[in-house]
Amino acid sequence: MRLYALLLGAWAECRLRKLMYEPHGFDESDRNTISGESTQLKQWQKSVELAFRRQYNIPKAALSVDTLPHSAHARYVTLSNMLQNDLGSIIELRNKLAHGQWVYPLNSDGNDIAQNQMDALRVENLLFLQFRKGLLESLSTAIHDLIVSKPTFERDFDDHLRVITELQRNLKKRDYATWAAGLRQKYLRGKANRKISASP
């Protein structure tokens, strides 16, 4: 499972770099600002913030219900909360796993266990990683739409939100043991069918 978590974290990092260099998207100043953040999670958060700032023409004021249109603010909060609550752990785990911290992820000083990442390692499984990948894809597409075309973002956001909501529901309610048992049963049925087909 840890290898899949590492690969998903690496994919998230590559996807962020792709977003940063989309044609007609972020400019050099934006890219420098995003890259200047200290962690991958903060870089993702900054990319969401800057995308909203650019398209809604809010260069410096705090992004709030007073500065953004109501629907835009709700979308900003949705994407920000998803990053923090559903994706933060897997984005931050990449760095720990890439540095060989497969059993005990350490804090930035290397003198104690990073408890949040440790908790994430304990609860992650292949099913949840699949859901998190879907969330990352939806988030990436929404940010892409926003930085490239505000009308596209506003037109398609509800479609993204439907996918996001379903994935978040699955993260909370789907049972890994039931899913794994279903996979085993599917494998056994396939194996039995292959034997029957191979019989003379």
Q: What is the pTM of this model?
A: 0.81
Coil/strand/helix, residue 120: helix
pLDDT at position 11, please? 87
Q: Could you report the per-residue pLDDT of 6-34, keeping only the tens digit for each? A: 888 888 899 999 999 988 889 999 999 99
Q: How far apart are CA 177 and CA 165, in angstroms?
A: 22
pLDDT at position 89, please? 81
pLDDT at position 99, please? 66
Residue 66's Cβ-count burial label (10 Å; 0-12, 13-18, 19+) is exposed
pLDDT at position 103, please? 73
Q: How far apart are CA 51 and CA 158, in angstroms?
A: 18
pLDDT at position 111, please? 73
CB atoms within 10 A of CB 106: 15
Segments of the chain with pLDDT less than 50: none
